[in-house]
Structure 1
Amino acid sequence: MNEQKKESNTRFGIAWALANGGGYMLIQATVASYIAVFMTDYIGIAAGVASVIMGLASLWDAINDPIMGVIADRTKSRWGRYRPYFLFAPIFFVIVSVLLFLNPKGLSESGKIAWTSIFYVGFGMLNTVCTMPTMAIVPAHVKEFDERNKIFTWGAIATAFSFTIASSYSINISKFFGSWVPMILIYGILMIISYLWLFKVSKERYLIDIDAEKRPISKDIKIIFKHKEIYPVIIIWMLCSLGFGLMFATSVYYVMYYLARPDLISKYMLVLSIGAFISMSVIMPLAIKIFKCGHKALLWSQLLTAICYIILFFFGKNNFTFLCVVSFIATSLSAMENSLINLLLADSIDFIQLKDGVSLNATLSSIKGFAFKCGTTLQSSGILAVLAITGYVAGAIGHQPESAMLGINSLRFLIPAMISLIVVILCIFYPLQKHYAEFEKMKEKMVAM
């Protein structure tokens, strides 16, 4: 690779990392961490109603992912397929995010529900419009494995930093301003600037044209799903989302009820947050450097994570320091799974190009998004289902039945360990690895447009 191309990839990599993990992630992490409490405590919507809003919005969000992927792959403009979205999508995303946190005065209860529903659904849809082209542009700009891995690593570091800042301090920043809106605006301005830079430096060099006029949209989906090699990858995407979600969502229940120490929740969550940051900013780059490909790094990280979880399932309650140390190790190994699966996405894009001679970057990105959101839905509904089945009693600290205690311990450690082991098995038999040599030969023949 000549020096000019290296410099181009470096500029692109930094711009992509800031777009994917900068202002956008600050907004995304704020919504993920605080939208539920904002709906109930700031707007005044009943918890049951808020859960229905979030559930229906998540369902529609998962459904519209493939639709957006197909649209992006078939976009034709003087700026290319994916780059036009970097110009307008972030602006609308920021506007809707601001309106979501506006909390207008004088609305009736039904008005509050309608306002929140409209803009929460709009947030999810515009989130898809932003993320699908953002993920699709990487294989379109860069064809070399090492360069892609480096870019995804930079993105993981930026994401880890922004998520830690937003999830830990957004509520304090909002209190400083006296409102959530100024903070979201600041995050939004950073997002728009980073996407404009990404638009400027990105190139759609390595794409194979889609004959959209002669081929129906349904054929794009059929092309992907006719290959049995793609199915294990989709399952990995879903399981990694499920495992990552359980890691954080069950920890409060575990400390509050299984340990019966609500005073230790903040300390334990801090341990997990630091572990997640270390995972994406330190461990992931080392793992990619050692293993060279995403599925091998995922295999070993999930195997070691499963061992830690099994140990904690049996001995986690014995000593809080021991719990924190082993949980930190497990989180440091496992949290990078959500970034490592982006490397599997790049493999899938290469595979479809190899087998069918067509670039379906955004469609595959949208299928990954759909699988990821299915995992998130399973996580949220699964936790409530297990708690209900095992007889959990809300607020009964120190007085939970034994069945509920087993359920909480299983949700925190045993079920995630099982998920990790399934991912390990899928990675051992990863169906795309046998095509790596063919990918390289294909890329050698590809000429930058």
Structure 2
Amino acid sequence: MDNKLFRTSGIERWGFGLFMAGQSVINTFAGSFLPLFLTNIGITAYAVGVLFLFARVWDAVNDPIFGAILDRTNLKSGKFLPFLRAANVMLPVTVVLMFAIPSGIATGWKILWAFVSYLLFDIAYTMCDVPIFAMTSAVTDQVHERINIMSRNTVLSTLTAIVVAVAGPGLYSSLGPLPTAVILSIVAAFLMFFMSRYAKERYVNKDEEEVTLKSMLNYVKSNKYLRIGFLGIMILSVTSMTNAVITYFAVNCLGNLGMVSVLSLFIALPSLVMGVLMPVLTRKFDKFHLLMVGIIGQTVMSVVCFLAGYENQVLFFILLGVRGIFFGIQLILQLQFTGDFVEYGEFVTGKRLQGTAYSIQTFVFKFMNAVPGAVAMFILGAFGFVSGEGAVQPPSAINAIWVLFILSPVIGALISLPIFAKYKLRDKMVQIMAAANSGDITREEAQEQLAGKL
């Protein structure tokens, strides 16, 4: 991409990536080790599942409210930046609280502590996640610049996820859950600082008209591609339980918690490579077409891995790495459509409700991350999973872990593909809308270029 088309500075783009890397440190550690920590201190798998599921009900209220707050906010210091600065502190603190549950207190108090700390973590994550993604459509109106920013974000966040996945089991085993949480939270806070310090908002909704619940609902009703896109992504991902059971698969199927590091490398390294290649690929191919390649490829390789089994570990890891290529394509591109929804929404409604669009994205992705965890715990509980550190699992639970780890993504793919077939928005069309929204061309010129395509 020609540097003359960049609206952002180099330090801004790196700040984006480092912020996402900081988020990734926390998200990887909490997502991988929180279920294991909670079951190890004696909380049942069913109780952990209920905790995660209830948190998603809270999200259903929390995220839209926060989206409305963002769309109504126009402070001197910015629309999104004040929340990013607050989350820079709150997110690391709350993840420490989640891993600070004393092992000696009664189980009921453990559950209450886990419940309260997880909800606080969820609020902090919303304050962090909605604004950082909304900033991608606030700093630039160039579609390929957003792809460049998001690809850099993916590379750095994947790299830090790999580091945490590799180092995490060793730190967790040698230092314990709480010291590990403290160390990683300090690292995350440092990485997240640069974005809130150097970013600049350029394209935001500054209408004096108040954003009401009715206007938000009308915006969503009018934005058909927002509905189609998020529905397809959500269905695709809520049924994928690979990450939810990765620690259990390492311990109970491969026989060693340290295998989490190896599994994470074979899953994440291909994503890192695809993150580097994605800006090049999206110059030649539309990102929606690439997403379809990722979905279909991951589905095929999941079935191949399942049929091959994991007894031959060399073959298993080779196949897992190939599947990781398609997973990487899918993972990177899922986050790159919301800016398109913002441009389309402004084009058809006249309102640039970034807070609304990105609060829906945050809800969808938190739903995607937590619901698989809740459902996986329910399923494991139904198949006889035994809580407690060092517990021996029955064959039924081990088989359930294997199926959830490798085969669960297939279900979502089969359901989501017919939904994605209705998605007609393409990169060239979005750039035309963005040009009209920013005043570079007239709406009439844009409508003429888009005639018959939407």
Residue in 2 that maps onto 1:205? 202
- Once the two structures are superposed, residues 224-278 of structure 1 have per-residue CA deviations (whole angstroms, 9 ceiling, x without a partner) of 13333322201222134325x4233356777888xxx5437855x5454123322
Q: 1:435 aligns with which of 424, 429, 435?
A: 429
Question: Which one of the candidate residues 38, 49, 52 is aligned to 2:50?
Answer: 52
Q: Does 1:307 align with 2:303?
A: no
Counterpart Cα distance in 1 of 2:7 and 2:208: 33
Matched, 1:263 2:261: no
Q: Cα deviations across residues 169-191 of structure 1 (Å, max 9, x unaligned)? A: 2343356556624x444433444
Q: Is the 8 A contact 1:39 1:45 kept in 2?
A: yes
Q: Secondary structure at 1:84's aligned position in 2?
A: helix
CA drift at 1:288: 4.1
Confirm or deny: 8 A CA contact 2:29 2:164 kept in the other structure. Answer: yes
- CA 30–212 in structure 1, closer or farther in 2 if over 3 Å, else same: farther
Aligned equivalents of 1:89, 1:339: Cα separation in 2 = 23
**Counterpart residue identity of residue 442, structure 1:** A
CA distance in structure 1 between the aligned counterparts of 2:16 and 2:72, rounded to whole angstroms: 22
Q: What letter matches 1:28 in structure 2?
A: N
| CA 51–300 in structure 1, closer or farther in 2 if over 3 Å, else same | closer
Match of 2:124 in 1: 126
Corresponding residue of 1:41: 40
List aligned pairs for 1:344-363, cutoff 5 A.
Answer: 344-363=337-356
Q: 1:446 to 1:174 in 2, by over 3 A?
A: farther
- C-alpha deviations, 1:308-327, integer Å up to 9, x for none? 12323434368443332112
Q: Quick check: 1:21 aligned with 2:14? A: no
Partner of residue 362, structure 2? 369
Cα pair distance change 1:443/1:218, threshold 3 Å: closer
Opposite residue 201 of structure 1, the aligned amino acid is Y
Deviations 1:386-437 (A, max 9, x none): 6678x66768978549xx95x7665455542343344445445423228335
Q: Distance in 2 between matches of 1:413 and 1:170?
A: 22
Aligned to 1:445: 439
Partner of 2:100 in structure 1? 102
Mean CA deviation greater in 197-206 or 276-285: 276-285
Q: Distance in 2 between matches of 1:103 and 1:418?
A: 36
Q: Secondary structure at the match of 1:63?
A: helix
C-alpha separation in 1, matches of 2:290 and 2:256:
32
Q: Give the CA deviation at 1:345.
A: 1.1
Amino acid aligned to 2:14: I
Match of 1:337 among 327, 330, 345: 330
Q: Give distance in 2, aligned partners of 1:319 and 1:98.
A: 39
Match of 2:266 in 1: 275
Map of 1:150 onto structure 2: 148
Alignment partners' CA distance in 2, 1:100 and 1:411: 26
Q: Counterpart amino acid of 1:420? A: A
Q: Structure 1 336/63 Cα, relative in aligned 2: closer, same or farther at 3 Å?
A: farther
Identity %: 20
Match for 1:225 among 221, 228, 241?
A: 221
Gap change, CA 1:19 and 1:375, over 3 Å in 2:
closer
> Shift of the alpha carbon at 1:378?
4.5
CA RMSD of aligned residues (A): 3.5
* Alpha-carbon shift at residue 123 of structure 1 (Å): 0.7
Contact 1:252–1:265 (8 Å) recurs in 2: yes
Paired residues of 1:271 and 1:328 also in contact (CA < 8 A): no
Q: Quickly say closer, same or farther: Cα 1:45–1:204, change in 2 above 3 A.
A: same
The secondary structure found in structure 1 opposite 2:75 is coil
Of 241, 250, 265, 1:246 maps to: 241
What secondary structure does 2:79 align onto? coil
Query: Equivalent residue of 1:263, what SS?
Result: coil
Task: Sort the Cα spacing of 1:376 and 1:98 in 2 relative to 1 into closer, same or farther, 3 A.
Answer: closer
Unaligned runs of 5+ in 2: 442-454
What is the TM-score normalised by the length of structure 2? Answer: 0.82
Matched-pair contact (CA < 8 Å) for 1:300–1:424: no
Q: Is the 8 A contact 1:156 1:281 kept in 2?
A: yes
Q: CA deviation at 1:2?
A: 8.8
8 Å contact from structure 1 (residues 256, 262) kept in 2: yes
For 2:256 and 2:181, the matched residues in 1 are separated by 30
